[in-house]
Structure 1
Amino acid sequence: MATLGEAAPNPRPSQSPCSACKIRHLTVCAPLEESELHQVAAITHSVELGPGDPLFDEGEPANNVYNVTAGTMKVYKLLSDGRRQVTGFLFPGDFLGLANNDIYAYSAEAVSHSTLCRFPRRKLEGLLEQFPKMEKRLLGMASHELAAAQEQMLVLGRKTAKEKVATFLLALSRRAEERGQPADPVTLAMSRADIGDYLGLTTETVSRTFTQLRGSGLIALQQGGKVELRDREALQDISEGG
Structure 2
Amino acid sequence: MQRLRPEQSVFHEGDPAKRVFMVTHGALKLYTLLADGRRQITGFMFPGDFLGVSVDQEYAFTVEALEETELWWFSRDAFDRFIAEHPQVERELYRLAAHELAEAQRQMVLLGRKAAAERLASFFLSLLERAERASGLPERTFDLPMSRIDIADYLGLTKETVSRMLAHLRSRGLIRLQAQDRVEVLDRDGLRSMAQGESVGLA
On whether the aligned pair clears a TM of 0.5, the verdict is yes
Render the CA deviation track for 1:90-109: whole Å, top value 9, x for unaligned: 11001111223211011100
More strand per residue:
2
**Worse overlay, 95-104 or 76-85:** 95-104
Give runs of aligned pairs for residues 40-189 of structure 1, distance below 5 A: 46-180=1-135, 183-189=139-145
2:181 is equivalent to residue 205 of structure 1: no
TM-score by length of 1: 0.79
Q: 1:224 to 1:211 in 2, by over 3 A?
A: closer
Render the CA deviation track for 1:196-236: whole Å, top value 9, x for unaligned: 01000000000010011111211111225111111111110
Specify the structure having the higher radius of gyration (Cα).
1
Size of the aligned set, in residue pairs, is 197
TM-score by length of 2: 0.93
For the aligned residues, what is the CA RMSD? 1.2
**Aligned to 1:82, what secondary structure does the other structure show?**
coil
Deviation (angstroms), 1:62: 0.3
1:230 aligned partner: 186
Supply the distance in 2 between the matched residues of 1:216 and 1:147 (Cα, whole angstroms).
Answer: 29
Q: State the identity %.
A: 47
1:196 aligned partner: 152
Supply the distance in 1 between the matched residues of 2:186 and 2:83 (Cα, whole angstroms).
Answer: 44
What are the ranges of 5 or more consecutive residues in structure 1 without an aligned counterpart?
A: 1-45
Equivalent residues of 1:98, 1:104 under 8 A apart: no
Supply the distance in 2 between the matched residues of 1:229 and 1:186 (Cα, whole angstroms).
Answer: 8
Deviation (angstroms), 1:182: 6.2
| Paired AA for residue 214 in structure 1 | R
